[in-house]
Amino acid sequence: MLRVMLVDDEPPARRGLRRLLRSYADIEIVAEAGSVSEAQALAAALRPDAIFLDVELTDGRGFDLVAQLLSAPAIVFVTAHDLYAVKAFDIAAVDFLLKPIDPERLALTIERLRRHGQGATRAVPSRERQDDVELDVDPGHGGPAQRIHLRIDGKSVIAPLRTVALLTAEADFTRVFLKGARDYLVCRLLRHFEAQLPTPPFVRISRSLIVNLDQLERVEWQEAGRCSLSLGGDITPVTIGRIAARRLRQRIESDRMVSV
């Protein structure tokens, strides 16, 4: 069970996040706070595993709270201002959510919190990073791109393009999930990948997700129009909301008609 605290000076924002978190059986909300001082006292007394933290509060900023914490809970920043993204990752925040929160994006955050609780580590992007992505063809051959070349913080990762299963937006960064391998956080916006990746099989189904339909192993349609995507390997199934699920269904049906 993950014990979490919600910190936001807007009660409607806390209510909305609390409602979204109710669907996760392993999440327990142990406290809520509307200010830095209130959150500091509650965190010291309750020692939550994670804090969903707004940046701009009535008596300071979320970063002030992080600096004052005696324990070391996982931090997930929740804000309407993406200009704080780099600073959030500089202090090793587990994730950075933009308001209004997408349910499918929150599902990725919860999975990262679970991994964090199991002792998993993650790379922390620095302000000076100069990442890039290129699609390469095999030497001496023409035709469609065969490989993806990620240049990440001075290092290169080259993998067959078909192994890219999922890409998720994280503020100014994109996390690239390779099937049968690890995931990589690249200092590039998701739209940079969208402009280069071939469609099909890569389809952007929401503002935060690009899916490789060729790697999609199973789709479980759920109530209220949502669905869960299974991509196999070590990639955790992703739950997407009603609008993204409708786009995915339309794309699958369209591809099925073309193939007939």
Show me where the domains of the chain are located.
Answer: 2-117, 132-259
Could you tell me which CATH number the domain at 2-117 has? 3.40.50.2300
Please report the pLDDT score of residue 89 as a whole number: 62
Please report the pLDDT score of residue 18 as a whole number: 95
Asked if residue 153 lies in contact with residue 163, where contact means CB atoms within 8 angstroms, the answer is: no
Please report the pLDDT score of residue 191 as a whole number: 85
How many percent of the chain have pLDDT more than 90?
Answer: 24
Q: Which residue has the higher pLDDT, 31 or 67?
A: 31
Average pLDDT over residues 212-217: 90
- For 217-252, what is each residue's pLDDT tens digit? 888 888 777 888 888 777 888 888 778 888 888 888
123, pLDDT greater than 50 = no
Beta bridge partner(s), residue 156: 151
CATH H-level, domain 132-259: superfamily: LytTr DNA-binding domain (2.40.50.1020)
- Pairing state of beta strands 132-136 and 95-98? unpaired
Asked if residue 79 lies in contact with residue 56, where contact means CB atoms within 8 angstroms, the answer is: yes
- For 146-175, what is each residue's pLDDT tens digit? 888 888 877 888 889 999 999 988 767 888
Whole-angstrom distance, CA of residue 168 vs CA of residue 113: 16
